[in-house]
Copies of this chain bind each other. A is one copy, B any other.
Amino acid sequence: MEQAPVPTADPITVEVVDLMARLVGLFHREYEEAAAARSLTGAQAKVLALLRRGPMPMRHIAQTLSCEPSNVTGIVDRLEGRGFVTREADPQDRRVKLVAATDSGLSASTELRESLNFAREPLAALDAAERAQLRDLLRRMLDSSTPA
């Protein structure tokens, strides 16, 4: 039987991976800073961002963040303590706690999101057509690995 064809690390792929690593570093730092400017931590900001689509069980948050549920407990505790989210029991299943963003939490998250859009100088180096190209490439990469 053939060995699974090791995706021979061609030079372009290697370089793209490297560039992405740098991009990830940049992005991550800026996100962290933008959150800190609103005295949120990165993890808190991520949870708030998740809740923009609507209330969500703790477990679902943990899955999306790829971390242990016990970790989420603490993060939500702190967000709740500052009035950014609420916990309410799910009427359908009383084991489940639905976490929902408050108005205050929602607007904090929206502010942060918008501050990111124009803080993103790296994108300024590209013109409209190139940004569209980039968008298409990224879309295809993500759609292939995140069926959702």
Instruction: Write the A27-50 contact mask toward B (1 if CB under 8 angstroms, else 0).
Output: 111010000000000000000010
Asked if residues A13 and B123 are in contact (CB atoms below 8 Å), the reply is yes
Q: How far is the CB of A85 from chain B (nearest CB, A)?
A: 20
- Looking at chain A's contact residues, the main secondary structure is helix
Residue A103 lies at the interface, judged by CB distance under 8 Å to chain B: no
Interface residues, chain A, with chain B CB atoms under 8 Å away? 6-7, 9-10, 12-17, 19-24, 26-29, 31, 49, 66, 114, 116-118, 120-126, 128, 130-135, 137-146
Cα A138 to Cα B25 with chains together (Å): 13
Q: Report yes or no: A29 in contact with B138, Cβ–Cβ below 8 A.
A: no
Cβ–Cβ contact B137 & A13, under 8 A: no
Oligomer copy total: 2
> Could you tell me if A142 and B123 are in contact, using CB atoms closer than 8 angstroms?
no
B138 touches A23 (CB 8 A): yes
Of the candidates B26, B120, B133, B135, the one whose C-beta lies within 8 Å of that of A142 is B26
Would A16 and B131 count as touching, CB distance under 8 A? yes
Q: Tell me which residues across on chain B come within 8 A of A26, comparing CB atoms.
A: 142, 145-146
